[in-house]
Structure 1
Amino acid sequence: MATRFPRFLAHVLAAHGIQPSFIEQELLHMQDVRYTKTTNRSVVGIMTQFCQFAEGYRGSDEMNDLVALSIRLARIPCGPLYRGPVFPDKALRELIGSGSLQ
């Protein structure tokens, strides 16, 4: 996963229209990988919900492309994002636009 995830993330961020220079910087920051337990149980809950949505969407022919599936899932409201945009795609654009991720 540590080698596959960064490559896949780069494709997903590009599909969201994120600048290549930003993507390259993110990939550089992802070279040191550590796994740990979450301290926020709602993260596990939302990931479970996204898995359920993904299973439902993958039944259609157009959703066999994992990047397209990721884009579709990013348009689903996400409870833990209650302090800002509740849609992951909008939260991504806001964070990058504000410079919080740079």
Structure 2
Amino acid sequence: MYSLHCTKKLIDRIQEPIAAPVPTPTTRLGSWYATALFWRPQLMLAVNERTLLPVLMPLAPAAAIAHRFPAQLATVLAAHGIDQGFIEREVAAMAEVSFAKTASRSVVGIMNEFSFLAEGYRECLESFDLITLTMRLAETPCKPIKYDSPAGLIKEIVRHQVV
């Protein structure tokens, strides 16, 4: 089970009930934060609360976003070279989802920065490939994780199995 903390604009799109209180996630990576990007086509940007690892994916169909997200996360983790066993355990633990409102202003701020950077990278790289954009965002140094990049932190956490 994992928690997906959504911005209001994403909650309005997915129309799922909000959990109160938010249950503790059973996944190794913990909770995720998500927002909608109103590009063409529309996207969802998810950011892991602990590692700040970003994941971009198509928003449509919005009603199934929580069930499609684990597969996209598996693709992103594989692109980062994460152990297949870890990926399989994480995806299996994501069989259930709990929706919640955003609670961390810090993570919401990172999502806003990633949204801005993604737009710039899309133009600079002249690419709309979501994995390419996600991997580029993951290399961004972030102050909340002591200026490490999400890509570096996720590899470190999985390597040491400290999650």
The answer to whether TM tops 0.5 is yes
Equivalent residue letter for 2:111: M
Secondary structure of 2:103's aligned partner: coil
- After TM superposition, the structure 1 = structure 2 runs for residues 66-85 of structure 1, keeping only pairs within 5 Å, are 66-82=130-146
Equivalent residue letter for 1:90: G
The structural deviation recorded for 1:2 is: 0.4
Equivalent residue letter for 2:72: F
Higher relative contact order (CA 8 A, sep 6+): 2
The structural deviation recorded for 1:23 is: 0.6
Q: What is the TM-score with the length of structure 2 in the denominator?
A: 0.57
The structural deviation recorded for 1:8 is: 0.8
Secondary structure of 1:26's aligned partner: helix
Q: Is the 8 A contact 1:46 1:79 kept in 2?
A: no
1:18-64 deviations in Å (ceiling 9; x for gaps): 11111110001111101112332111000000010001111132x31
Equivalent residue letter for 2:152: K
Question: Whole-Å Cα distance in 2 between the matches of residues 6 and 79 of structure 1?
Answer: 27
Q: Is the counterpart of residue 31 in structure 1 residue 95 in structure 2? A: yes
Question: Whole-Å Cα distance in 1 between the matches of residues 96 and 162 of structure 2?
Answer: 21
Question: Whole-Å Cα distance in 2 between the matches of residues 52 and 65 of structure 1?
Answer: 16
Unaligned runs of 5+ in 2: 1-64
Q: What is the TM-score with the length of structure 1 in the denominator?
A: 0.88
Q: Is the counterpart of residue 97 in structure 1 residue 159 in structure 2? A: yes
Secondary structure of 1:92's aligned partner: helix
Question: Whole-Å Cα distance in 1 between the matches of residues 97 and 134 of structure 2?
Answer: 22
Secondary structure of 2:82's aligned partner: coil
Q: Is the counterpart of residue 20 in structure 1 residue 84 in structure 2? A: yes
Count matched residues: 98
Residue 12 of structure 2 is matched in structure 1 by none
Secondary structure of 2:135's aligned partner: helix
Aligned residue among 75, 79, 88 for 1:11: 75
1:51-94 deviations in Å (ceiling 9; x for gaps): 10001111132x31111111111110112112xx6211110011
